[in-house]
């Protein structure tokens, strides 16, 4: 809208007020002061608001004065809202940026505050538990640090009772008491890093201590190394020595002490073991050493036979028929002394004593060998 002189109404009104004031006020200083007051213009505040005011007032508000030729009421001024932006992770080593718009700050994932500056209102210091100059969240986000339990704290800053580099929260805890298995003090006798209370360990001797621990701690022997205390292994002769550790000449799993110990050739070794280790032969596979049989494939097997005090080489049958005392197959009379039978009748082993060994000798030669 324009009127006289082709000037806008606002401008004409301002000129009229100034002219009127000059006429009414004779004081030149007052005229100059009021003229300055009327020299208003647009002022953009940090909040984004636009205010028509004087340069001095604009400065007092911390605004940006645009000049006396621009006015907010014209509706053409778009004031930008400025503030301080706190970044979650540093950009070029900087965590705080000044004079940023809210949209620009949010684009970086930052926290924006209007009408603030990094100098007057610095960003709160970020958590940096490992003191590497990078916020903990950024260490985790960028893969600089691991966070196995997702608690927002780098693993190197979490408790680690055993110092193995794995936080306690990520270690095994079989009994759920909050103490990693490797740091338990409840006992781990087998040293496998698992508390004994979490293992189903056997206790065959019912002494309240796991079998493995009995052996490790020396309370029990384990002669065969099968992780079972000897007192829990089979012991057929009850002599305190477990069967796997007893002599077993024929390796049949049964100790020699728990099997028949016939020893027809009187060499101190059971006949079955003589045959097993080839000390004796068994030409007809009858389980009797050849030296204890009369024949093998029709050939007579001779040995010393005492008839009275006379030694005669013959078979075991012939010796019996003659009422003599048989020795063993292969024994020659030159190496055998016949004693008077009346002196020690029944002493078949010639050891001067009639005992169990003589009976075994008799049983071993019972019957006729094929």
Q: What is the mean pLDDT of each run of 10 residues along the chain (370 residues)?
A: 38 34 39 53 92 94 91 91 87 84 87 88 90 90 92 93 90 80 73 74 84 84 87 86 83 80 80 83 78 70 82 78 79 83 65 70 64
> Residue 33: inside a domain, yes or no?
yes
- Say if residue 249 is in the same domain as residue 265: no
> Residue 188: inside a domain, yes or no?
no
Distance CA 185, CA 175 (A): 13
- Say if residue 297 is in the same domain as residue 355: yes
Distance CA 293, CA 330 (A): 10
State the burial class of residue 153 (Cβ atoms within 10 Å of its Cβ: 0-12, 13-18, 19+).
buried
- Say if residue 358 is in the same domain as residue 268: yes
- Say if residue 352 is in the same domain as residue 268: yes
- Say if residue 213 is in the same domain as residue 308: no
- Say if residue 283 is in the same domain as residue 356: yes
Determine how many CB atoms are found less than 10 A away from the CB of residue 213: 19
- Say if residue 265 is in the same domain as residue 342: yes
> Model pTM?
0.36
- Say if residue 14 is in the same domain as residue 50: yes
Would you mind telling me the total number of residues written for the chain in this entry? 370
> Residue 239: inside a domain, yes or no?
yes
- Say if residue 292 is in the same domain as residue 359: yes
Distance CA 279, CA 298 (A): 22
Beta strand 94-100 with 41-44 is: unpaired
* Residue found under tokens 């940023």: 100
> Residue 158: inside a domain, yes or no?
no
Distance CA 26, CA 215 (A): 119
Phi and psi, residue 163, nearest 5°: 65, 30
- Say if residue 272 is in the same domain as residue 345: yes
Q: What is the pLDDT of residues 41-88, one digit of tens each?
A: 999 998 889 999 999 999 998 889 999 999 999 989 999 888 899 998
- Say if residue 270 is in the same domain as residue 309: yes
Amino acid 32: pLDDT? 42
* Helix residue ranges, H only, the chain: 9-24, 28-37, 55-60, 102-107, 136-141, 211-216, 271-276, 316-321, 356-364
Amino acid 298: pLDDT? 62
- Say if residue 244 is in the same domain as residue 298: no
Pair of tokens at residue 115: 């009408």
Q: How many domains does the chain have?
A: 4
Amino acid 33: pLDDT? 43
CA-based nearest residue to 230, from 252, 250, 246:
246
> Residue 330: inside a domain, yes or no?
yes
Provide CB contacts within 8 A for 295, sequence distance 6+.
301, 315, 369, 370
Amino acid 29: pLDDT? 40
- Give the domain range for residue 120: 83-125
> Residue 12: inside a domain, yes or no?
yes
> Residue 302: inside a domain, yes or no?
yes
Pair of tokens at residue 299: 């050939």
Q: What is the pLDDT of residues 80-122, one digit of tens each?
A: 888 899 998 888 878 899 877 888 899 988 998 888 889 988 9
> Residue 303: inside a domain, yes or no?
yes
């Amino acid at each position: 809208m324009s009127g006289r002189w082709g000037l806008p109404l606002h401008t004409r009104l301002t000129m009229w007020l100034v002219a009127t004031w000059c006429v009414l006020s004779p004081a030149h200083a007052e005229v100059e002061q009021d003229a300055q007051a009327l020299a208003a213009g647009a002022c953009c505040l940090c909040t984004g608001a636009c205010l028509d005011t004087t340069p001095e007032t604009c400065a007092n508000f911390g605004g940006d004065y645009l000049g006396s030729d621009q006015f907010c009421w014209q509706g053409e001024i778009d004031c930008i809202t400025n503030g301080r932006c706190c970044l979650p992770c540093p950009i070029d080593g900087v965590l705080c940026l000044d004079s940023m718009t809210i949209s620009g700050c949010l684009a970086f994932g930052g926290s924006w505050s209007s009408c603030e500056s990094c100098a007057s209102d610095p960003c709160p210091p970020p958590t940096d538990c490992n003191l590497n100059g990078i916020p903990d969240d950024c260490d985790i986000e960028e893969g600089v640090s691991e966070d196995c339990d997702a608690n927002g704290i780098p693993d190197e800053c979490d408790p680690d009772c055993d110092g193995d580099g794995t936080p306690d929260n990520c270690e095994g805890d079989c009994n759920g008491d909050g103490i990693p298995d490797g740091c338990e003090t409840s006992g781990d006798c087998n040293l496998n890093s698992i508390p004994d209370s979490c293992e189903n360990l056997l206790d065959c001797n019912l002494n309240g201590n796991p079998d493995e621990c009995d052996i490790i701690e020396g309370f029990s022997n384990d002669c065969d190394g099968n992780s079972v205390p000897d007192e829990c292994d089979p012991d057929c002769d009850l002599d305190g020595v477990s069967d796997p550790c007893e002599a077993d000449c024929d390796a049949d799993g049964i100790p020699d002490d728990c099997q028949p110990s016939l020893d027809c050739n009187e060499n101190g070794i059971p006949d079955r073991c003589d045959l097993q280790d080839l000390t004796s032969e068994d030409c007809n596979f009858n389980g009797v050493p050849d030296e204890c049989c009369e024949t093998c494939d029709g050939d007579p097997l001779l040995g010393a036979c005492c008839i009275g005090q006379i030694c005669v080489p013959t078979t075991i049958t012939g010796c019996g028929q003659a009422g003599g005392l048989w020795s063993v197959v292969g024994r020659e009379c030159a190496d055998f002394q016949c004693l008077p039978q009346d002196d020690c009748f029944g002493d078949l082993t010639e050891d001067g004593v009639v005992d169990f060994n003589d009976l075994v000798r008799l049983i071993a030669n019972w019957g006729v060998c094929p």
